[in-house]
Chain A
Amino acid sequence: MASINVTIDGKQVSVNSGATLLDAARAAGVDIPTLCYDERTEIYGSCGLCVVEVEGNPKLVKACSTVAADGNVVHTDTARVIESRKTMLELLLSNHVGDCRPPCVQACPAHTDCQGYVGLMALGKTREALELIKEKIPLPASIGRVCPHPCEQECRRGLVEEPVAIAYIKRFCGDWALGLQPGADAGGRQDAAPTNGIAADNECRGGLQPPADSGKSVGIVGAGPYGLSLAYFLRRMGHAVTVYEAMPHAGGMLRYGIPEYRLPKAVVDAEAAGIEAMGVTFRYGTKVGAPEAGGGTVTLDELRGAHDAVCLGIGAWVSTGTGADGEDLPGVVGGIDFLREVVQADGIPDFRGKNVAVVGGGNTAMDACRTAVRLGAENVYNIYRRTKAEMPADLIEIEEAEEEGVVFKNLTNPIRYEAGADGRVCRAVLQVMELGEPDASGRRSPVPVEGKTETIDVDTVILAVGQAVDAAGIAADLELTRKGGVAYDSATFRTSLPGVFCGGDCGNDKISIAVEAIADAKHSSGVIDAFLRGEDAPYRAPYIVERTDVTERTFEDRERECRPPMGVLAPDVRKGSFDEVVAGWTEADAAKEGARCLECGCGDFFECRLYRYANEYDVKPERFAGAYSVSPDDAATLNPSDDGHPFIVREEGKCILCGLCVRVCEEVCGVSALGLVGRGFDTAVKPEMEKPLAESGCVACGQCVAACPTGALQERLPLAKSVPLETEKREAVCEFCGAGCRLVIEECAGLFVKANPARTEDGRLGPICVLGKFGYGTGGAESAGGRLVLRSVAGMPPLHGGGGADPLAAVKAKAASLGSVSFEDAFRTIGEAYRAQGV
């Protein structure tokens, strides 16, 4: 065949005449996105994603269908091409109904794969659950204890009865890694789990191995959640990391701002030790700053000289007040200062017989209240200007404080503090408040009740109303925010000083929860890694399609099932002790809890091409927001188009009408179980005669599922908890009959997840049938040594699940409802296979 020469993006390539531009691009190694192209079917040309420009042609052409001509000069990356592809994707996404990721993942600032690890936990895969957490959260035992878990706030299980206890599960995994046992189940763990954090991380994916030394070094200022996490991520990337910490121990606010009864120091130490064991150097008692401006022991310039990059994560360690008169009196202290002193002085001061007032409604205020209780205070008052309902603290903290005897003086606000004869504070005068009109944030703002005040006797006042950053001393030339935080670019994490990055509480005036700082660490680690390689890779939050239509009604049919009980120290016991209040779960409890997950996120997230392209092209579909062809308003069930097929789940809201399923079913499989229905915007793919798919001629080969570029057609996974998981793929030869089809087997955590046809030598997807596609997940076979084998074959362990001699019993049972599936041929060939093996 004659060959022709084509230039694509400057690359010369020679192809056979008759080849399309898409063929030529592939030969040249140039990636052209497509959503509707499949080598096995006739060219369709509907998606319009493969458009390119050909010099001399004023129009954009579709690469999939344009035959290359000798001398063609093709451009695949011009502004016009990119614009057209981007708009096309935006239009598709404007009509895409689904949750790419579940609400829990979206709610987590670090986008931790909550659904993934909850699911793995439910499947009894603790190690893999832990590994998944550590992709985003290097301190799971600590964060699992203290995180206010925005994930649970959004968890849709809350629409049924209560959210999945995502944080408790995380804590379990973190404890498991550290070898910490919940009291109730000291010997519960059977397998050879590591007994300390170092070992756990060694064995975890991405733990100690590989880090091939990058030859670059990073200095991190501050060993709080940001600094520790950043050290973990950068070390995993192979960089040398030194953490400079002003305090004598690691942990930052996790250690010095959160009381022992909530987060034992030993847990923080163990997690920090795991990071140290990865090869991270810690320099404690080292404060960064000019010596004259606050006694720094090392200057920023020195660090910049010593490292290729420096990251600031000094936190927000300054307590602020409400501005009431007398805040400067002896006996009036800052909340975080108080908590820190208690940690440093090991339980001192002694509050026995004293009256302590804590001002503020957040978790720090609750920590201060409950610490004061434990220090023996006679009376602990919490002063907060709104009602309990408006308190930002976690509900459980408020409840437990109340159980411990804290007196809540809600709707009061300190006007002034008065000194006694000794000059120390002795009284607090409080303005009585009431709730007025809702403000811009929707919260009803408190307004003073004219002339109504209340006075309480106090020995100590703890102001837990806010924090601020003290960054002034770091370096004179470092640009700060108006409020004194470090100023940095939120996408590149770069400060005003070259090579100096920032994240966590200390920057951009966004003092927040620990997991937010960890999210900064995750996001900035990528940016810094790129910087060290001389590249620029600003962080961009991924574009995600989310549903907003889910309500209680959606889950009306779910059986109610509450969390397993959690062991908690009784109020009288814990009042007098700093022992940890929450006991933690056993593995069985955590697994049981994981099973409550409603499986919200899209099962095809990890293979969705629409998602991949959407993010490659930085889409903004909001500009085309409009009606949906499959209305999401009727959320009576999460997926109304699931028509009960035993192996295949249809989800019309995610269909992009590429027609691949219809065409593959007709042209490749010769079945035509699916077809296009309707016209215009309302066009849809439906099973024949618009009946359920199981009542069509569907032979359950799953080729449509394999061809679908989105989650509109998915396998019903053979997992007890069907959550989207990143899988490992390997090729195998199907053993069900003598045809020897090559399969790609996808596994996760040693579990069979799915099988797909392998590509043949010419790049096409090969054949597959119901047995190869769905037979392996039903107990018919198990993977062993890189090959799939039937377990009832001689010499193999006996079949599990189905039992008996028929390895197909399970898949047969599932396929019983399908009229069109015939096992005749398969049985015969399997019989032959058995005979050949002497069974």
Chain B
Amino acid sequence: MRIVVGEGSCGVASGAKKTEAALAALLAERGGAAGDGSYSGITLEKAGCVGNCYLEPVVDVYGDDGGLAARYVRATEERAADILAGTADDLLISDEDAAFLSQQRRIVLRNAGLINPEKIEEYIAAGGYEALRKALTQMTPEEVIEEVKVAGLRGRGGAGFPTWFKWDAARNADAGGGAKYMVCNADEGDPGAFMDRSVLEGDPHAVLEGMAIGGYAIGAHEGVIYVRAEYPLAITRLEIAIAQAEEKGVLGKDIFGTGYDFSIRIKAGAGAFVCGEETALIASLEGERGMPRLKPPFPAQKGFWKQPTNINNVETFANVPFVIREGGAAFAAYGTEKSKGTKVFALAGKIAKGGLVEVPMGLPLRDVIFGIGGGIKAGRAFKAVQMGGPSGGCIPAALADTPVDYESITQTGAIVGSGGMIVMDEDTCMVDMARYFLDFTRKESCGKCNYCRVGTKRMLEILERITLGEGRDGDIELLEELAGKIKDGSLCGLGQTAPNPVLTTIRYFRNEYEDHIYNKHCTAHYCKALVTYAITDACVGCTKCARNCPTGAISGEVKKPHGIDQAKCVKCGKCEENCAFGAVLRD
């Protein structure tokens, strides 16, 4: 029997390490500890996240036949004994939650949560490094690129640029006798996005293998993973994976005896969002301030140390072993005409089942949010989803049937981006949402382009005043004007996309902007400055609201309807929270 505890960052945060310790202690009590996590007949392993982040900690129990015997969810340390005793049936994953996984098609996440990321043997047992062997021993670099072209793999970092094209450009670039570089962009910075982290934590070898294949294709012998320092677990597992891969000879000199050398090192980034932009990333790799520069020259011509450099995202690399091993056609069997394969999405926000999902491209948004994600928390109504993080845009409920592929999503004004999906319900104020994302990008602007540096700040100020009820006639038009000019006048993707959340919310929720500006009213009853609380006839005079009001704004006699002194009210919402009779009206 094998017991596997999910220890991605999400699991660890939910107490998975404690669960593992409890299990280990109990097993040790039984005796037979072998010191390597195996006990008499039972092995205790860890794995990455399987994707049901909302159910962590997750403990899987595999039978002796290797098949999954039981999956326990919310398996906290207190229940460790029950799990071992087989008396934790109440923790068994429900059919509905199991469907969260069964509805997915997992290529990138094929090993996540299933294998121990710290043991290369498990990766190899799952078919790992076979693709690299195949590429090195049976294919020319051109054939590798051709296979990726057949697969139709597009960059998963956000822009969706065809991967083969970049590889081809880097392959054909003149290195002037110097080196070429293969760089992995693991600077995942979108708020609410954790696809890359999960892959690095759960299946680091998939990325290493993808990089090595790519390195072979473009003629590079050195790879660098630029990973944000805020991902310590990912960095640790990458370090372990690189060491193990070198030991196994799948990285380093003369891989598989083919004479091909490829080594990988890690560079921890200091966490600037803009360093996800490839020219800024290169600057940062070189020890410079992370600021984008003009393109051309593209990195494929002049990148790291001015040498031809190819940069792909973690998820892109994780797809590559599958493409090479199974063939491009197998990958292209999934998805739509122009968007092939699967895509990992991070479901967050007001979604019932938050976590990572991987689905074929082209699945309608509705199927992702309702089918897999279980719809909206607490039975509220679905209002919109922010796709593509702060660079993306919002897609309203009315467009829920939009297929999730690059072209269709772009048409809505949003972008697929790196795959963040932040779901919003009817209580979300769209102006405030736009304000939130713009606040993020304007803080993360590198400060180079004037339009981005000053323009986003001015847009933010306008949004702030609108949410404070100080919006002016003409503000929407001013936002639109600035948005257009910032997109036009910024060098890099950050500035060119920063206005998107504002533009899409104006496009789909202009009425909310107008409501704030002209009626001094927040449609979603969210913006504090515009909200008023009142007590309705439903009040029974229980006095609970008055007792909980921090400013003494509520008064009234026992068993008689209470009232709120608006002058004293600080709009903290305590009364609404505490009212058991639904008698507090927020407007």
Contact = CB atoms under 8 A, between A and B. Distances in A.
Contacts of A624: 454, 458
A627 B462 CA distance: 11
Interface in B242-296: 272, 274, 289, 291, 293-294
B454 A92 contact: yes
A92 B488 CA distance: 16
Contacts of A48: 449-451, 489-490
Contact of B450 (A91, A623, A626): A91
Contacts of B454: 91-92, 94-95, 624, 681
A681 B445 contact: yes
Contacts of B427: none
Nearest to A83: B485
Contacts of A202: none
Interface string A552-572: 000000000000000000000
Interface stretch (A39-47, A222-230, A233-241, A727-735): A39-47
B337 interface: no
Interface in B551-578: none
Contacts of A91: 450-451, 454-455, 458
A87 B457 contact: no
A676 interface: yes
A691 interface: no
B450 A92 contact: yes
Given A43-B294, A60-B489, A94-B458, A88 B289 contact: no
A47 B450 contact: yes
Interface in B450-501: 450-451, 453-458, 461, 478, 481-482, 485, 488-491
B442 A657 contact: no
A659 interface: yes
Interface string A622-635: 01101100000000
A835 interface: no
A43 B450 CA distance: 15
A680 interface: yes
A92 B447 CA distance: 12
B289 A87 contact: no
A590 B387 CA distance: 70
Nearest to B481: A87
A84 B489 contact: yes
A482 interface: no
Contacts of A83: 485
A651 to B, nearest CB: 18
A32 to B, nearest CB: 15
A683 interface: yes
B447 A680 contact: yes
Contacts of A683: 445-448, 453
A641 interface: no
A440 B457 CA distance: 36
A46 B450 contact: yes
Contacts of B446: 679-680, 683
Contacts of A65: 294
Contacts of B457: 95, 626-627, 680-681
Given A92-B454, A626-B457, A679 B489 contact: no
Interface string A35-71: 0000000111111100100000001101001000000
A657 B447 CA distance: 8
Given A48-B449, A676-B289, A680-B445, A60 B488 contact: yes
Given A84-B485, A94-B458, A679 B491 contact: no
Contacts of B458: 91, 94, 624, 626
Contact of B448 (A87, A626, A657): A657
Contact of B291 (A62, A676, A681): A676
A610 to B, nearest CB: 11
B443 interface: yes
Nearest to B439: A680
A675 B478 CA distance: 33
A155 interface: no
A704 B546 CA distance: 64
Instruction: Name the residue in A624, A681, A683 with the highest tally of chain B Cβ atoms < 10 Å from its Cβ.
Output: A681
What is the size category of the interface that chain A forms with chain B?
Answer: 35 or more
A657 B490 CA distance: 14
A44 B446 CA distance: 13
A681 B453 contact: yes
Contacts of A44: 293-294, 448
B451 A679 contact: no
A571 B58 CA distance: 101
Contacts of A92: 450, 454
A44 B447 CA distance: 12
Instruction: Name the residue in B454, B482, B491 with the highest tally of chain A Cβ atoms < 10 Å from its Cβ.
Output: B454
B275 to A, nearest CB: 11
Interface in A355-403: none
B503 to A, nearest CB: 16
Nearest to B291: A676
A680 B442 contact: yes
A706 B426 CA distance: 57
Contacts of B447: 657, 676, 678-683
Interface string A676-694: 1011111100000000000
A586 B26 CA distance: 102
B367 interface: no
Contacts of B489: 48, 51, 60, 84, 88
Instruction: Name the residue in B293, B450, B485 with the highest tally of chain A Cβ atoms < 10 Å from its Cβ.
Output: B450
A656 interface: yes
A140 B60 CA distance: 95
Contact of A59 (B455, B482, B488): B488
B291 A623 contact: no
Interface in A457-509: none
A46 to B, nearest CB: 5
B287 to A, nearest CB: 12
A39 to B, nearest CB: 16
B491 A45 contact: yes
Instruction: Name the residue in A42, A60, A87, A680 with the highest tally of chain B Cβ atoms < 10 Å from its Cβ.
Output: A680
Contacts of B444: 679-680
B443 A675 contact: no
Contacts of B481: 87
Nearest to A35: B450
A530 B461 CA distance: 43
B450 A681 contact: no
Interface string A655-681: 011010000000000000001101111
A83 B489 CA distance: 12
Contacts of A94: 454, 458
Contacts of A659: 448
B485 A679 contact: no
Interface string B432-444: 0000000000111
A814 B449 CA distance: 37
A46 B289 contact: no
A287 B37 CA distance: 114
A43 to B, nearest CB: 6
Interface in B122-153: none
Interface string A9-48: 0000000000000000000000000000000001111111
Instruction: Name the residue in A43, A48, A62, A676 with the highest tally of chain B Cβ atoms < 10 Å from its Cβ.
Output: A48
B294 to A, nearest CB: 5
Given A60-B488, A94-B458, A679 B445 contact: yes
A59 B289 CA distance: 28
A679 B292 CA distance: 13
15 contacts: A45-B293, A46-B491, A48-B450, A83-B485, A88-B451, A92-B450, A659-B448, A676-B291, A679-B272, A680-B442, A680-B443, A680-B456, A681-B442, A681-B453, A683-B447
Given A679-B445, A680-B442, 17 more contacts: A43-B294, A46-B448, A46-B450, A47-B450, A48-B489, A51-B488, A51-B489, A60-B488, A62-B294, A84-B488, A95-B454, A624-B458, A626-B461, A680-B444, A680-B445, A680-B447, A683-B445
Q: Which 3 A-B pairs have the closest CB atoms?
A: A683-B447, A681-B457, A91-B454
